Amino acid sequence: MKHPAGCDACGPAGRWPPGGDASRGAAGRGRRCGVVRIGGGRPFVDRRARRAPIAGCPLEDYLVKYTRKAAHPERRRRHRAPPCDPGSPVRSRGLTDWAHAPLRRLDPPPHRQRGSGFVKAVISATCGAAGLIALGVATGFRRATARGKTRLACYDARTVRLSYGDMTYVDEGPGEPVLSLQGLFGGYDQGFDVVHAHDRGYRIIAPSRFGYLGSTINGDGTPADQADALVELLDRLGVDETYVLGASAGGTSAIRFALDHPERTKGLILFSAAMPYPAPPHRYSTHAGPPPFLCHDLPMYLLSPFFPLVMGMPASTIDTMFPLAQRREGALLDATVANPDMARSFDDYPIEQVRCPVLVLQGSHDRLAKVGHAEAVLARFPQKVYARFEGDGHLLAKHQAEVTEAISSFITATRDEDRDPGTEAACEERHDHRSSNRGGASACTESG
């Protein structure tokens, strides 16, 4: 079989394969033909033959078209491809079998060529769409974080150092004092907004509970500790009696405040709040809150589109939660200490001894504070007013006017009402009980 004259693989005579060991060694380094390189005693295909083949080589079309990897006799039974021309005079050192071996075809059929282009287009489109989505998420996340920081700057917040640590609060308004305790992922901002949305001239005292927005945790951070810290804050502000509003997870601390300090509580308002149990529970969750990995800005932002489905709240609620870095410690404290406390310490919440009037505001479609649980425990409250809002969720946003009227009517009806004469006796009884369990901490502190 003829190769082009002068090919290093063929020698000067143009015959292939060349004779002699010296010429074989030279052929192993040849590049002119670009079809076959013979070196080290094993024939193989030069991959560069596809790039610069020499016209006129009888094996060029076959090798370039059907081969790419090393052609070895052991592979001939595993591949199926048209053999080369049987008339080709390839006879030397076992190369006949190699030349006739069925080898893998390089060029795919036409339909596969078209399909590969389609697959590439799909992959490119998918990558482009993923890039656009990532860009949109990054932009939205940056804007939501900026809105959260700008929103916090609008509040006239102050910080006072108490025996339990620092506490940041907002104190605005001239009227009847309302101590507002926010829920999970809140702070003084959410506590203020809950009352301000239904404001009728109240004096809104909205502290950040332990671990939220400038308030530190000193001690165990239990609801009882938080109630004592709130009494200390009221003493600093010169407030003798107040209405206590507990929203969502703040309901536990609000109920604890009403039980431990009845002389300071004019009324208790439970706004879609955590409620006690009608009977001691057989089982309860020791972590009643989101998992720790969600207590960060980006994971919570990615979850926010599902707020309407999961929590019944609009996705824009995320703006009131940022930045989570300043609320994370309080959220984890609520999840592990405050939220399970009424189940874990059922006997420490004698709801039947709550002497102040109680207003319970509950939405029928609340997915966080279940209406069935709230109605099951109502019988334990001696003095209660229950307002159920059909079709409303956790924020009671659909019945804002009705909620405002319910709060106003409750405060007006109980503002000048004399305290139950049994309150002082109950306070003394709880004082003796807590003195033995908590080292003499008084629950009946006289305001100075």
pLDDT at 218: 81
pLDDT at 117: 74
The structure tokens listed for 363 are 């939405």
pLDDT at 248: 95
The one-letter amino acid at 24: R
**CA nearest 369: which of 307, 294, 312, 293?**
312
Where helices occur in 313-399 by DSSP H, the ranges are: 328-333, 341-344, 371-377
In which residue ranges of the chain is pLDDT below 70?
1-116, 417-448
Q: At 386, phi and psi to the nearest 5? A: -110, 130
pLDDT at 27: 40
pLDDT at 110: 54
pLDDT at 421: 47
pLDDT at 416: 72
Provide the 3-class DSSP secondary structure of residue 327: coil
In angstroms, the CA 122 to CA 231 distance is 64
- Other CB atoms within 10 A of residue 239 CB: 17
Asked if residues 294 and 270 have their Cβ atoms less than 8 Å apart, the reply is no
Asked if residues 200 and 400 have their Cβ atoms less than 8 Å apart, the reply is no
Residue with tokens 């992922």: 185
In angstroms, the CA 243 to CA 257 distance is 11
pLDDT at 447: 29
Residue 15 is given by DSSP the state: B
In angstroms, the CA 51 to CA 64 distance is 10
3-state helix, strand, coil in the chain (%, to 5): 45, 15, 45
Query: What are residue 387's DSSP bridge partners?
Result: 361
pLDDT at 23: 40
Cα 234 to Cα 174, 212, 405, 445, distances in angstroms? 15, 18, 26, 12
Where helices occur in 185-292 by DSSP H, the ranges are: 188-196, 223-237, 251-260
Asked if residues 231 and 438 have their Cβ atoms less than 8 Å apart, the reply is no
Degrees, nearest 5: CA angle 263-267-273: 120
Half-sphere exposure of 386 (CA within 13 A, CB side): 15
